[in-house]
Amino acid sequence: MQIASTAAAIRWRTDFDKFVIISNFERRHWTKHSQADEDGWDIYWASVITIKQIFSPENSVRLEPHQIINHFPNHYELTRKDLMVKNVKRYMKQQKKDVLVESTPEFIPVTYILPQDYSLFVEEFRKVPVPWIMKPIAKAQGRGIFLINKLSQVKKWASSNVPAAMRPQTENYVVSRYIEDPLLIGGKKFDLRMYVVVYMSQLGFARFCNIKYSSEVAEMDNQFVHLTNVAIQKHGDEYNSRHGNKWPLTDLRLYLEVQSHFLCGIAMTSRSTAESECLFIQACQNVMINDRHCFELYGYDIIIDQSLKPWLIEVNASPSLSATTHSDRLLKCKVIHDTLQLVTPPDWDTGTDSTAPNSHQDAQPARCLPKTVGSMQLLFDETSELEEGRARRDALLSTESVKRGRRKTMIDSVSLRPTSAYS
């Protein structure tokens, strides 16, 4: 029986009871999947735990051609802190070897993985004894994070855990050089939460600490001074539930524009932020499983220092979609709306039956990516990058060929000169 070509033919499923997700599905007049048919869905907004189960070798689940899901099977290559560092370091090393590539600027702080990089970390710490920040590789919302300024603190942390003989595996951490000179507003530290789906949304926000920033040793353990995570700040006495310690990026830009000493650097910072996010995508593209069933909305956390240089701190596979304020809910609803506009086939908007023959499940020809979709601006176009890379290499080969021809001509001209009578 042919299903009617209505938007209701699109079936959604989600693990999240989040207004910003469900309201977007309902506004499109899509239908919630039937509990009686576990696999009867077209789009699944799932948790990372569900993704692990779906793509596990034991399950051997095969997605139908029309189904799309909101995580890549190995999304952790970008979002697990130790793998993120490994991928970026490998990419930077490759870039240095490529004579066609300009020097790639640092866009993450100096970072080591513990315990395996402990000796390298100690060597660096002794050269530059500044504060460092330690984070467990696979936790979120600020859990397990602390600052150190002495090697003895690392040793104490290591010995405070259960003895090695009594545990199957030591929990890995990353330790990064702490950004001591963050840009402050009202004396308070903040970071930026940006949303990225190969496109970067212009609708991120700044997250502020409750208490004014201090680099004093006495404040090193004060999470309300150093960690911007809302999950931490909302428990502080100074937390403002009216605005949730957040500014939309539009408000942040407006503030910086009226500060004359920031004016000349705003464009540079915006450009550098986009460049660092693009570099990170490139650093991980070769290790990601390219599955046309998958898309991903990442949450990038960025800190800007006093010189207006952006630093990528971490990437989240499941950025919080809980709304703390009315404006926060509107912002996140718009981000999800624009994400769905990007990742769903055009016929879903017109209500075409996703399971009908000749639907979007058939292979689509390559097409140029639009520069903008709603609030999203294109960061990285792989096809264009490949074409530019080939053009650069062709130009280099042509130049080298000309140089070799000139050298051969010079050698031939020297060898044909008459021998001197005095030689």
Name the phi and psi angles at 33, rounded to 5.
-65, 155
Average pLDDT over residues 258-276: 68
Average pLDDT over residues 203-221: 92
pLDDT value, residue 96: 77
CB atoms within 10 A of CB 147: 19
Average pLDDT over residues 366-392: 65
The three-point CA angle 284-282-274 to 5° equals 120
CA 104 vs CA 88, 98, 107, 110, 274: distances in Å: 11, 11, 9, 15, 14
User: Which band of pLDDT confidence, cut at 50, 70 and 90, is reported for residue 415?
Assistant: very low
Average pLDDT over residues 90-116: 80
pLDDT value, residue 222: 94
User: Which band of pLDDT confidence, cut at 50, 70 and 90, is reported for residue 366?
Assistant: very low
Q: Would the CA dihedral through 59, 64, 69, 72 be positive or negative?
A: positive
pLDDT value, residue 328: 92
Average pLDDT over residues 214-218: 89
pLDDT value, residue 348: 85
Whether residue 16 is predicted with pLDDT greater than 70 in this model: the reply is yes
Whether residue 357 is predicted with pLDDT greater than 60 in this model: the reply is no
As a whole-number percent, the residues of the chain with pLDDT over 90 amount to: 39
CB atoms within 10 A of CB 65: 14
CB atoms within 10 A of CB 106: 13
Q: What is the pLDDT of residues 167-177, one digit of tens each?
A: 445 678 999 99
Average pLDDT over residues 259-288: 72
More confident of the two residues 414 and 207: 207
More confident of the two residues 52 and 257: 52
pLDDT value, residue 326: 92
As a whole-number percent, the residues of the chain with pLDDT over 70 amount to: 75
Helix residue spans in 201-259 (DSSP H): 223-226, 230-233, 249-258
Whether residue 270 is predicted with pLDDT greater than 50 in this model: the reply is yes
Q: Provide the CB-side half-sphere exposure for 326 (13 A, CA).
A: 1
CATH fold, domain 110-178, is Dna Ligase; domain 1 (3.30.1490)
pLDDT value, residue 364: 42
Q: What is the pLDDT of residues 384-404, one digit of tens each?
A: 554 554 555 555 556 555 555
User: Which band of pLDDT confidence, cut at 50, 70 and 90, is reported for residue 200?
Assistant: confident
Average pLDDT over residues 143-149: 91
